Amino acid sequence: MALMLVAGLFGSPPVAFMIPALVRYNLHAGAGTLGAIMAAIGLGSLLGSIALLRLSSRPNKGEPLLVGFVVTGAALAGIGASTSTWLSFVLALVGGFAGVLFVGLSTVVVQAMSSDEVRARALAIWAAAFVGMLPFGALLTAGLTALIGPGGAVFVDGVALIGGAIVVVALRPQVAWLGCAALPQSCLAGLNPAAVALEAEAQPSTV
């Protein structure tokens, strides 16, 4: 939930509001470039959705979730600093892929780790944390834009995403094992059951 708060505050506003400004003031381009950048984000999102299918059976979803979060922040920071159309296109593709990976896996984790009685409430809190922070993030990004321009504002948002991930992992290192019933034994068993079986056989039995 803390990661979702950070994502809603710093990750959503650049994608929702700042791409046209980046195209105009950073890339000095027009509608065609804007369409290409948005198409790259969409293509990355599609590829990220396909990747989610491969990760659905992975016991430990915390690690790819964190990777998606950090890569999204790095892509945003790179787009904010970029003055190259092709580099921005590639970063938009990577950012779309990583962003969908994070959002999709976080949804799966919230549902899988909630009991039947509280699952709907957990999803409501998840949505409030993510979407509810967008207006505040938009206000913050607009203020940064007035001070340092659209590229600088998006760069700061991307760095803030990475910093937020570092803080969350430092305070709650178990976030890297999200999706596991036991930390970290069940994840290890799911990833490499043969090794766990051999270890069990090697241990002396107690009477």
Q: What is the pLDDT of residue 207?
A: 45
Buried/exposed 49-73: b ≥16 CB within 10 Å, e otherwise = eebbeebeeebbbbbbbbebbbbbb
The amino acid at residue 164 is G
- C-alpha 158/C-alpha 41 separation (Å) is 16
List the Cα angle 42/68/116 in 5-degree steps.
Answer: 95
Local structure of residue 207 (DSSP, 8 states): -
Q: What is the pLDDT of residue 151?
A: 95
pLDDT tens digits for range 178-203: 766 544 555 555 445 454 444 445 45
- C-alpha 27/C-alpha 67 separation (Å) is 28
Residue 155 burial (C-beta neighbours within 10 Å; 0-12, 13-18, 19+): buried
Q: What is the pLDDT of residue 129?
A: 83
List the Cα angle 141/147/152 in 5-degree steps.
Answer: 65
pLDDT tens digits for range 90-105: 999 999 999 999 988 8
Q: What is the pLDDT of residue 195?
A: 43
Whether 112 contacts 60, CB under 8 Å: no
Q: Which residues of the chain fall short of a pLDDT of 70?
A: 179-207
